[in-house]
Amino acid sequence: MQRKTQFQAYVGRKQGSDGRYFQSPNALVIMLDINPSAPLLLSLRVAGLATFFSFILGVGLAWAITRRGGALRAGMDAFCTLPMVLPPTVLGYYLILLVGRRGLIGPWLMEYGINLMFSWKGAVAAATVVVFPLIYKSARAALDGVDHSLEDAARTLGASEWTVFFRVSLPLAWRGLFAGTMLAFARGMGEFGATLMIAGNIPGKTQTLALAIYDAFQAGNDARATELVIITSLLCMSVLVAAELLAGRRRSA
Amino acid sequence: MIDMNIRKRLGTAANAFRLELCLRLPDDCRCAVLFGPSGSGKTLTLRALAGLLTPDEGHISLMDCTLFDSSRGLNLPARERRIGYMFQDFALFPHLDVASNVAFGLEKTGVFRTSQVRRKVMEHLDFLGIADLAARMPATLSGGQKQRVALARALAASPRLLLLDEPFSALDPLLRGRVRQELRGILETSGLPALVITHDPADVEVFADQLAVYEKGGVAKILPFREEYGGRPAASVLEFLLGTVPGRAGGLSSPTISSVRAVA
């Protein structure tokens, strides 16, 4: 069964509703396949969710840290930047130690029916850790750039810290946060190392675009590799261009 | 009105200094001026009063209400102090129009319904004569207009006390004289007690019922200014003020200083 799925992914075949295989006309159709596990859709889903989780985590942490000084701030900054410089394989290894079947919180997660190892959820976890520094760093810079006296003014007007964040800091830091988020999404699309470590490379299940490219190349299927490379490049380019255009429009508005 | 006695360590570990601030203003004081050189702790006084800066120790009370007391571990957050603060650069929210800026503090006063908010905002804008600016963004306003919006925004939150940090330093010198008189009029009309920081002796003359003179290190001397020196021409006020700054001619031996009541 495993071999069959792998074969399907290589040659771009798909099982019809009648149970017979038929050949899809070209790579784009495979990519945009209704099958939610197709590499492109899986990559979009993984990158999207990872960006979402990182955004909540990164912006929240940046907000908590940004008005504090001293050792805590420096320590958190260093720690949060670590995933950027560590090899993705090292991150993957740490993640396995954490959420693996015999890991620190793995058994606890299993009790709730969440198994991250060799599942697309694991790919999300891996990508979340990898894109986190991009969001954290840009959020720190963007929130630091907000004039403190505006936040103080809001406080003297009776605003809670929550209100200060959502009505003053967030709207004013929005452009920087948005740029960081788009960058994180594009980076998440291309995540390879940590994903391979924790989620493996199971076609139709955890095989994202980046993994599918490596797989196709290894198997000597250069045509498919080229197609996937072009699709990935175009996608990442358009995300970045779209981010630039949107940010530019905000600037001129 | 105000009774504060606080200590705060400032600066980096290598270059630390201790600021000790005592300020006691009588209950009948409507408007007090904080005057003194930069770095003497004037802005710090306002920030501590507003709850934007937490002193290391001491106590602050305003009209028999304790805002901060280190011995009892009490520190009322800024949002619950109801103290209006007008920043030196006015600190208008650049992403909100004038009406939204003024409406920002209204929710805390229990005004929620859109029509009600709108009416209240227009009342405050009318009071300051800037109703026509309601839909403008702060970046398109002149300095004088910004100041009025900042004042309207502070007043809309119905504060018990208004703090003004160098209210005229961001204004065109030609405008200052007129705006100064207007602001004094507005404060009198609204009946709101105010604390004004300034470097300008002309401000002292217009605003000071009480004058708190700061020296380096932050010790405040309180002078019942209005009673004894009110109505004097600016030149003599300047002379008087320079006389209170240590190291200048006159110094503490000047006869006008004999009535100084040092509070420490």
Q: Which residues of A touch B79 (CB under 8 A)?
A: 155-160
Q: Which residues of A touch B78 (CB under 8 A)?
A: 152, 155-156
Q: Does B155 touch chain A (CB under 8 A)?
A: no
Query: What pLDDT score was predicted for residue B28?
Result: 76
pLDDT, tens only, A202-219: 888 888 899 999 988 999
Between B176 and A90, where is the model more confident? A90
Q: Which residues of B touch A159 (CB under 8 A)?
A: 79, 104-105, 108
A116 found inside a domain: yes
Residue with tokens 């406080």: A155
Same domain flag for B69 and B176: yes
A233 found inside a domain: yes
A19 found inside a domain: no
The residue-averaged pLDDT of A103-128 equals 88
pLDDT, tens only, B202-223: 788 778 777 787 776 656 566 6
Same domain flag for B151 and B170: no
pLDDT, tens only, A155-197: 999 898 899 999 999 999 998 899 999 999 999 998 999 999 9
* Chain A interface residues (partner B, CB cutoff 8 A): 147, 149-150, 152-160, 167-168, 171-172
Nearest CA in chain B to A163: B104
Among the partner-chain residues A149, A158, A172, the one whose CB lies closest to the CB of B108 is A158
Q: How far off is chain B from A142, nearest CA to CA, in Å?
A: 15
The residue-averaged pLDDT of A130-144 equals 93
Cα A246 to chain centroid, rounded: 20
A198, two tokens: 């924790």
Residues 6 or more apart in contact with residue A52 via CB below 8 angstroms: none
Query: What pLDDT score was predicted for residue B226?
Result: 56
A3 found inside a domain: no
For residue B111, the enclosing domain spans 83-159
The per-residue pLDDT of chain A, averaged, comes to 82
Q: Which residues of B touch A147 (CB under 8 A)?
A: 91
How far apart are alpha carbons B14 and B25 in whole angstroms? 35
A28 found inside a domain: no
pLDDT, tens only, B238-255: 556 665 544 443 333 333
Interface probe with B: pick from A67, A150, A156, A250, most Cβ of B within 10 Å: A156
Nearest CA in chain A to B157: A157
A218 found inside a domain: yes
Report the 10 Å Cβ neighbour count for B172: 11
Same domain flag for B178 and B254: yes
Q: Which of B155, B52, B50, B143 is nearest to B101 (CA)?
A: B155
Residue with tokens 């071999």: A3
Q: What is the CATH number of the domain that holds B44?
A: 3.40.50.300
pLDDT, tens only, A230-253: 988 998 999 989 888 887 765 544
Q: Answer yes or no: is pLDDT of A9 > 60.
A: no
How far apart are alpha carbons A40 and A33 in whole angstroms? 9
Report the 10 Å Cβ neighbour count for A40: 21
Q: Answer yes or no: is pLDDT of A128 > 60.
A: yes
Contact A153 B81 (CB under 8 A): no
Same domain flag for B212 and B253: yes
Report the 10 Å Cβ neighbour count for B77: 13
Give the number of domains in chain A: 1
Contact A155 B77 (CB under 8 A): yes
Same domain flag for B72 and B168: yes
Same domain flag for B135 and B213: no
Query: What pLDDT score was predicted for residue A204?
Result: 80
Among the partner-chain residues B78, B82, B93, the one whose CB lies closest to the CB of A150 is B93
pLDDT, tens only, B166-184: 888 877 777 788 888 888 8
Same domain flag for B152 and B166: no
pLDDT, tens only, A27-59: 554 544 444 448 888 899 999 999 999 999 999
Q: What is the CATH number of the domain that holds A56?
A: 1.10.3720.10
Element (H, E) at B54: none
Same domain flag for B138 and B264: no
Same domain flag for B105 and B202: no
A10 found inside a domain: no
Same domain flag for B237 and B149: no
Query: What pLDDT score was predicted for residue B23?
Result: 81
A252, two tokens: 């001129």
Structural contact between residues A19 and A164, judged by C-beta atoms closer than 8 angstroms: no
For residue A245, the enclosing domain spans 37-252
A8 found inside a domain: no
Of the candidate ranges A23-27, A66-70, B66-70, the one whose mean pLDDT is the lowest: A23-27
Same domain flag for B32 and B118: no
Nearest CA in chain A to B107: A158
Same domain flag for B74 and B201: yes
Nearest CA in chain B to A158: B79
How far apart are alpha carbons B220 and A201 in whole angstroms? 72
The residue-averaged pLDDT of B100-118 equals 81
Q: Answer yes or no: is pLDDT of B225 > 70.
A: no
